[in-house]
Amino acid sequence: MVKSIYVGNLPFTATESEIRGLFEQYGTVLSAKVITDRETGRSRGFGFVEMEDGEALEAIEATNGKDMGGRPLKVNEARPRAPRQPKRW
């Protein structure tokens, strides 16, 4: 089963390949994504990694609090996104 991992407090210069490299130490990374601002294209300081279930748990434990670019990473299992309320004009 695939598990999605939230990776927060990323340096704004972090790339998807750097995140992939960090997590590949703990197993096969199925995908790695840095979330960017739609208008500016700049990193929003967080991303997501997908790994197999057992490997993901090990990776979360090993990388949570780990320093990347002078910032301690906040790593945990990603939670489903809450539904958005429709905008009322």
Report all structural domains of the chain as residue ranges with CATH numbers, in order of start. Answer: 2-77 (3.30.70.330)
pTM of the entire predicted model: 0.88
Mean pLDDT of 68-86: 89
Mean pLDDT of 20-36: 97
**In this structure, what is the dihedral angle of CA atoms 17, 19, 25, 30, given to the nearest 10 degrees?**
-70
Q: What is the pLDDT of residue 81?
A: 77
Q: What is the pLDDT of residue 17?
A: 96
Q: Give the percent of the chain with pLDDT over 70.
A: 99
Q: What is the pLDDT of residue 83?
A: 80
Residue 10 tokens, joined: 């990323």
Helix, strand, coil % (nearest 5) of the chain? 20, 35, 40
